[in-house]
């Protein structure tokens, strides 16, 4: 292959007034500091538990928990198949998901270390530190051939510091499942790095490395595909390469993409599914005439544009943070909303500036186009992603922001060195503090959900999650004021979730459970009945309704001495679960008290059939037959009870 002959024009690089001999310009020093900083930023997550989506890829994934034995299944099924455990359910997520690389990593870790979240968090930190170092080496490549003075190292060093400490990354690093974001960006940057080395050194092996890392990144997450635009853009901008040469640099990545798509299609096919009509899988629905209808593209677009504006806001001011932007934390926006108008104008300005300066090989144009390209795939504009937005979706695009901020700071440093130093120091201290404190929210699901519910106050999913975690905690507690308080909060959360999403099955289930634990059985029955009216035949709903009806009957019989109501609830319960031992016993007792001994005998007999080794069943039959006047049957059941438990008739 011939050497590249395109003219290499020096990029404009701002000169640092510091002496060239400063030890702080050392590449080695920069890399050491960045490695230590990256680790320290997240070291307080090592003792955390599994949280949020860790269940999907680790704790509740049947393939991951098989260790080495589960790897073939992880490679040959949809990523969600091991979580749902039933064929077809993974298609609830529109288009399916094929991201096997990090689940395979988790399976290996599960085989070696077992159920040990501490190791998962530690490895996330180390992968993140490696990513920051690769980012430095990649940015270094951008300027390596254009300025031998090395003053530009301060700029890329600052960009990497901004990336390393930015609080927007907490979701990707503090949540073990977020490793797919880390590995995806790591592989993408490595592919870019080797593409530039191929151009600089004209060695084919670097093309191979570029394609291989691109393929691995795709196997982690599909967002990698956006680097098909980033790689040639980088060569065009920082090497003054011709358009044809720039495009040639992505040939290995294209090969990797084709290989990935072939594998993906053979595993999950090309069926992208229809428009999901469940609000938790499609935020672009509206409640009309007692049901959901899909918004048109023009109706959805203002909300998408609003989210794009919010992404920019979170990069500049990452507060408040939350892991949940589901409906209606982000409400349905309209074209007349000032925030939508402002976001539209900002993005138009960015796009116009980038295009106008593209021919000039502008660094700012590169940063803007990089951001727009990498954010596009998670914007809902290209294709639906199932939620309005998420902070982890900024993980890859934030590189563009960090580079842009460092470059602008570097330019400003020339005229206002003390001001720039002061602003940078204050910003870094604030971001470090925010990241470290935000990490602690990811300690476990209870902490995460009960914290973020105060930010995502109108997210049905968040309200449901907070209600569920409080309800589950209360269920394990002894009766008392704290338990009562937790259950009332759980009921309030789920009630509000149902105001946002009226037919939210999980919220109805958790609301019913919370009423049940609070011994508000009639209210529990109401929640389960509504659930079953919307979702007939739901197993959890039917089971919980039967138990609530049974306990409501027990409550009215024992606490209220209202036998009519007690029998009404018990009869409804037994029609759902005819083989429930306790319901048969309670109906036997109720009929015995009413003097209906034949019915009492019927239910106690059923109880004995269900549990033939339960002495209490025969004690009940002895009493029922005795009250009925059948002394022989009473004697027979007396002997059966004593045979099973000699002390059956003693207190």
pLDDT of residue 5: 42
- The CA distance from 366 to 368, in Å, is 6
Regions of the chain with pLDDT less than 70: 1-22, 88-95, 146-150, 272-273, 651
**Matching CATH number, 459-577, of 1.25.40.10, 1.20.1090.10, 3.30.70.580, 1.10.10.10:** 1.25.40.10
- The CA distance from 565 to 534, in Å, is 26
Please write the tens of the pLDDT for every residue from 523-580. 999 999 999 999 999 999 999 999 999 999 999 999 999 999 999 999 999 999 999 9
Best CA proximity match to 506, nearest among 546, 456, 469: 469
Kindly report each contact of residues 346-355 with a partner whose C-beta sits within 8 Å and lies 24 or more positions away, as own/partner: 346/309, 346/312, 347/305, 347/308, 347/309, 347/372
CATH number assigned to the domain covering 595-651: 1.25.40.10
Helix (H, G, I), strand (E, B) or coil at 285: strand
Domain definitions of the chain by residue range: 180-274, 285-439, 459-577, 595-651
pLDDT of residue 23: 73
pLDDT of residue 14: 41
What radius of gyration, in Å, describes the C-alpha atoms of the chain?
Answer: 31
pLDDT of residue 88: 63
pLDDT of residue 90: 52
Domains 459-577 and 595-651 in one fold:
yes
pLDDT of residue 651: 60
- The CA distance from 142 to 221, in Å, is 25
Please write the tens of the pLDDT for every residue from 298-337. 999 999 999 999 999 999 999 999 999 999 999 999 999 9
pLDDT of residue 269: 86
pTM of the model: 0.92
């Amino acid at each position: 292959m011939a050497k590249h002959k395109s003219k290499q024009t020096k990029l404009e690089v701002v000169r640092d007034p510091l002496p060239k001999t400063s030890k702080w310009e050392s590449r080695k020093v920069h890399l050491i500091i960045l490695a230590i900083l990256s680790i320290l930023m997240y070291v307080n997550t090592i003792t955390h538990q599994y949280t949020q989506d860790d269940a999907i890829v680790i704790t509740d994934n049947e393939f991951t928990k098989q260790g080495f034995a589960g790897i073939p299944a992880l490679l040959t099924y949809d990523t969600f198949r091991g979580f749902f455990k039933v064929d077809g359910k993974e298609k609830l997520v529109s288009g399916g998901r094929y991201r096997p690389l990090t689940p395979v990593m988790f399976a290996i870790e599960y085989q070696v270390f077992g159920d040990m979240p501490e190791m998962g968090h530690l490895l996330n930190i180390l992968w993140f530190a490696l990513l920051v170092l690769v980012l430095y080496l990649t940015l270094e490549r951008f300027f390596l051939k254009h300025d031998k003075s090395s003053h530009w190292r301060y700029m890329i060093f600052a960009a990497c510091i901004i990336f390393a400490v930015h609080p927007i990354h907490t979701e990707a690093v503090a949540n073990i499942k977020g490793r797919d974001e880390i590995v995806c960006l790591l592989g993408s940057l490595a592919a870019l790095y080797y593409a530039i080395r191929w151009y600089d050194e004209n060695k084919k092996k670097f093309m191979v490395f570029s394609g291989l890392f691109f393929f691995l990144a795709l196997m982690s997450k599909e967002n990698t595909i956006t680097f098909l635009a980033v790689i040639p853009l980088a060569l065009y901008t920082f090497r003054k390469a011709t358009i044809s040469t720039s495009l040639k640099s992505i040939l290995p990545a294209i090969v990797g993409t084709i290989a990935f798509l072939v594998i993906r299609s053979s595993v999950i096919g090309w069926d992208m599914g229809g428009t999901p009509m469940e609000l938790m899988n499609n935020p672009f629905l509206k409640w009309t005439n007692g049901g959901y209808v899909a918004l048109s593209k023009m109706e959805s677009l203002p909300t998408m544009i609003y989210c794009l504006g919010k992404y920019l806001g979170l990069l500049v001011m990452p507060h408040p943070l939350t892991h949940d932007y589901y409906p209606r934390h982000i409400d349905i926006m309209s074209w007349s909303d000032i925030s939508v108008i402002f976001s539209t104008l900002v993005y138009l300005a960015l796009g116009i500036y980038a295009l106008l300066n593209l021919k000039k090989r502008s660094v700012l144009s590169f940063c803007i186009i990089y951001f727009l390209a990498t954010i596009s795939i998670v914007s809902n504009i290209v294709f639906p992603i199932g939620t309005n937005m998420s902070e982890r979706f900024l993980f890859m695009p934030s590189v563009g922001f960090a580079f842009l901020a460092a470059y602008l700071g570097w330019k400003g440093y020339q005229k206002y060195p003390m001001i720039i130093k002061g602003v940078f120091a204050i910003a870094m201290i604030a971001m470090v503090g925010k990241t470290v404190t935000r990490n602690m929210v990811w300690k476990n699901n209870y902490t995460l959900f009960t914290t973020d519910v105060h930010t995502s106050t109108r997210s049905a999913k968040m309200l449901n999650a907070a209600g569920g975690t409080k309800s589950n905690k209360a269920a394990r507690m002894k009766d008392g004021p704290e338990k009562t308080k937790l259950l009332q909060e759980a009921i309030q959360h789920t009630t509000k979730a149902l105001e946002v999403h009226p037919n939210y099955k999980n919220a109805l289930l958790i609301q019913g459970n919370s009423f049940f634990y609070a011994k508000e059985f009639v209210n529990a029955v109401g929640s389960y009945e509504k659930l079953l009216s919307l979702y007939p035949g739901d197993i959890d709903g039917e089971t919980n309704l039967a138990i609530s009806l049974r306990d409501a009957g027990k409550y009215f019989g024992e606490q209220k001495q209202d036998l009519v109501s007690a029998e009404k609830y018990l009869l409804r319960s037994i029609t759902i679960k005819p083989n429930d031992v306790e319901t048969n016993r309670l109906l036997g007792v109720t009929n015995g008290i009413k003097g209906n001994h034949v019915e009492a005998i019927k239910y106690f007999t059923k109880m004995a059939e269900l549990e033939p080794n339960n002495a209490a069943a025969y004690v009940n039959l002895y009493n029922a037959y005795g009250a009925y006047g059948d002394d022989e049957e009473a004697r027979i059941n007396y002997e059966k009870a004593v045979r099973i438990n000699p002390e059956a008739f003693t207190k």
